[in-house]
């Protein structure tokens, strides 16, 4: 398509779920090199995340449910990007709810995002011969065990497809199957980013996500709640590192098309909580409550492929990343803690 379709100034890139945590950071990054179409229905995200981007002529927000067939020609606001003539060159599909506290209420949204949302965005990629990156998840590997907690892309994993989380965990596996099938049938340049836990500014507050809840509670001198016990561990990758990996993945011509993205450093959440208490000079304590359905044990990514083929490693240290996230929470906790829909 790049050789057949004129690119008048910059490539056109579509980001679904573009007002979400990852999506908004991705849109911001892509504006350095592309015209960005941000598509989101705002059902589980915050318009404030992209408020600072609306001023740029190379950015356009479209409120739309990507679970419906997508016809970009129906949006007159995209005329300035000459989409009718140039089409789109890249699609990043990130739209999918990831809310621990509201997971039960968003099950159908998760199911749709990992099925009909996949088909509608993949069909669009076929129509425009666009390159495609899907934001998958480390959950496709299933829970780690004592003997196997370091996951490579070749690991198939085991997931309970009938569990209360099946619409998300098995959904992501089906979504990957969709990408692979479109590669096989249509020759689509489709890639899969298996993203491990990522954190940073613009994560939703009061939503059961450990780090933002830790920070807000610490700032308010309230107990920091861990949903589980003191053995809970996971890796943490700062958001700009994750976004950098996704952009590199889109550009790569590697023979591999599935990549782990995350940090190789495994951390005890109780230690992270205590570090946040220290960094915020809080009088809070750490307490433990029953696990949430959406929160599960996760393994460590093997990053050999990402290092060798993408030339990528996470660069932001935990302390630096936490400080940026704390600073953002201090500046935005009141505004962002009230309402996430418009």
- Catalytically active residues are 168
Q: How far apart are CA 318 and CA 298, in angstroms?
A: 18
Q: Which CA distances in Å does 89 have to 45, 110, 253, 299? A: 25, 26, 15, 34
Query: Helix, strand, or coil here: 321?
Result: helix
Query: Helix, strand, or coil here: 59?
Result: strand
CA 208 to chain centre: 16
Helix axes 239-251, 21-30, angle to 10 degrees: 60
Count Cβ atoms below 10 Å from residue 218 Cβ, excluding itself.
Answer: 26
Q: Name the phi and psi angles at 227, rounded to 5.
A: -85, 85
Q: How far apart are CA 27 and CA 18, in angstroms?
A: 7
Q: Which CA distances in Å does 171 have to 10, 114, 115, 174, 243? A: 34, 5, 7, 5, 22
Pick from 22, 140, 44: nearest CA to 92: 22
Tokens of 325: 């996230």
Q: How far apart are CA 189 and CA 182, in angstroms?
A: 9
Q: Name the phi and psi angles at 204, rounded to 5.
A: -65, 140
Count Cβ atoms below 10 Å from residue 99 Cβ, excluding itself.
Answer: 19
- The C-alpha angle with vertex 211 and arms to 36 and 51, in degrees rounded to 5, equals 30
Contacts of 304 (CB under 8 A, 6+ apart): 152
Q: How far apart are CA 207 and CA 103, in angstroms?
A: 10
**Do residues 77 and 58 touch, judged by C-beta distance below 8 A?**
no
């Amino acid at each position: 398509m790049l050789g057949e379709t004129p690119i008048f100034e910059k490539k056109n890139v579509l980001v679904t779920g573009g007002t979400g945590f990852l999506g908004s950071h991705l849109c911001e990054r892509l504006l350095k090199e592309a015209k960005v179409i941000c598509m989101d229905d705002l059902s589980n995200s915050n318009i404030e995340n992209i408020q600072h981007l609306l001023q740029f002529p190379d950015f356009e927000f479209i409120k739309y449910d990507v679970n419906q067939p997508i016809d970009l020609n129906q949006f007159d606001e995209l005329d300035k990007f000459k989409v009718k003539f140039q089409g789109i060159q890249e699609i990043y599909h990130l739209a999918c709810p990831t809310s621990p506290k509201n997971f039960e209420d968003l099950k159908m949204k998760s199911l749709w995002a990992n099925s009909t949302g996949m088909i509608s965005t993949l069909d669009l990629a076929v129509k425009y011969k666009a390159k495609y990156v899907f934001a998958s998840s480390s959950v496709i590997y299933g829970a780690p065990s004592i003997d196997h907690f370091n996951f490579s892309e070749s690991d198939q994993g085991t997931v309970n497809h009938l569990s209360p989380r099946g619409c998300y965990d098995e959904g992501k596996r089906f979504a990957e199957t969709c990408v692979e099938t479109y590669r096989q049938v249509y020759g689509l340049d489709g890639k899969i980013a298996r993203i491990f836990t990522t954190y940073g500014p613009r994560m939703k507050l009061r939503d059961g996500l450990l780090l933002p809840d830790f920070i807000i509670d610490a700032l308010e001198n309230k107990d920091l709640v861990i949903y589980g016990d003191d053995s809970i561990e996971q890796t943490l990758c700062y958001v700009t590192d994750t976004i950098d990996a996704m952009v590199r993945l889109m550009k790569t011509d590697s023979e591999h098309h599935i990549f782990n993205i995350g940090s190789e450093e495994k951390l005890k959440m109780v230690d992270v909580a205590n570090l946040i208490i220290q960094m915020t000079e809080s009088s809070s304590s750490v307490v433990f409550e029953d696990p949430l359905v959406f929160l599960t044990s996760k393994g460590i990514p093997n990053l050999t492929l990402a290092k060798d083929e993408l030339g990528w490693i996470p660069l932001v240290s935990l302390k630096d990343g936490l400080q940026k996230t704390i600073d953002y929470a201090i500046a935005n906790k009141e505004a962002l803690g009230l309402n996430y829909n418009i």
